[in-house]
Amino acid sequence: MPEAEKETKGSVMMAEEINLCPEVEKTFELIGKRWTALIIYVLLSGPKRFSEINALIPDLSKRMLTERMKELEEHGIVLRHVIPERPVRTEYVLTQKGYELGKILGPISKWAISWMKDHKESLHDH
């Protein structure tokens, strides 16, 4: 048995299973951007107006929310839906691609509840 394989025997993934192709790298880069995964997670429960997303994530500035929503639209993860009523409303909804990405965030939230509950400091305070 190769040395690297012996060392990772107890881990979830064996060394040869790790595939850092450009698509994987790009995905981690996208969801690793501040607020992006949280926006996707919030949209999992259904369409939301800009103000609703902003209210659910109060530390997220309107400028940054606008920037992240544009990025998510460009990547085909979020769809901006204009409802032509009076007054005109705009809702954001996950595409199928976005929903599939969002489903993997559920286990992350469970991990956070289990492991981060004693973590009192904010990550950006370091």
pLDDT in tens, 18-60: 778 999 899 999 999 999 999 999 999 999 999 999 999 999 9
pLDDT confidence bin for 109, thresholds 50/70/90: confident
> What is the three-class DSSP state of 126?
coil
- What is this structure's pTM? 0.75
The single residue listed with the structure tokens 């993934």 is 13
- Sequence-distant (6+) residues with CB within 8 A of 54 are 60, 62, 65
Q: How confident is the model at residue 8 (pLDDT cuts 50, 70, 90)?
A: very low
CB atoms within 10 A of CB 31: 17
- pLDDT(1) > 50: no
Alpha helices in the chain (DSSP H): 3-7, 22-32, 36-43, 50-56, 62-74, 96-103, 105-115
pLDDT of 2 over the 80 cut: no
Do 60 and 102 meet the contact criterion of CB atoms below 8 Å apart?
A: no
